[in-house]
Amino acid sequence: NRPVNRFVAGFLGSPAMNFVEGQLEAGTTAVFKTGNLTIPLDRYGFDGAGNKSGPCVFGIRPEHVAFGEAANSMPFATDAAVEIVEPMGSDTLVWTKLGDRNFSFRVEAEKTLRNGDPVRIGFDPARASLFDIPSGNRM
């Protein structure tokens, strides 16, 4: 689950990985910023060139996103609104926004969510991937 680059990350897996463009701010505690959101990266394992400030893409798979009460136990959590509910059989894909980007997460098929419902979503950035924009390589 550590794709070497963005192409591989986008090609493998269904549903596809969420990609959110933003800025990496390096330092003793690196953070990823997009819009008005700041995601702490103290648990993220940097590869290659390490953490250098600049534009990058944050990627996380829908199955690694928690919602509701479970989101509150994650290192990063935020409020969002349901935009699309897509039943997939044994589970449901829910679309919302992270910053200004489309963002999806999976829930059990039995969960009842409707367009416009407020939801709390969260994840552990250690399960994410950061990609350098010019090269597309994992950071």
Could you say which architecture CATH assigns to the domain 6-132? Beta Barrel (2.40)
The span from the CA of 44 to the CA of 23, in Å, is 15
Residue 44 has pLDDT above 70, yes or no: yes
State pLDDT tens for residues 53-107: 999 999 999 999 999 999 999 999 999 999 999 999 899 999 999 988 999 999 9
Mean pLDDT (whole number) for 3-10? 89
Residue 48 scores a pLDDT above 80 = no
Three-state SS annotation for 63-84: HHCEEHHHHHHCCEEEEEECCE
Confidence band for 122, pLDDT divided at 50, 70 and 90? very high
Share of the chain above pLDDT 70, in %: 97
Task: Map out the domains of the chain as residue ranges.
Answer: 6-132
- Banded pLDDT at 46 (limits 50, 70, 90): confident
Single pTM value for the model: 0.91
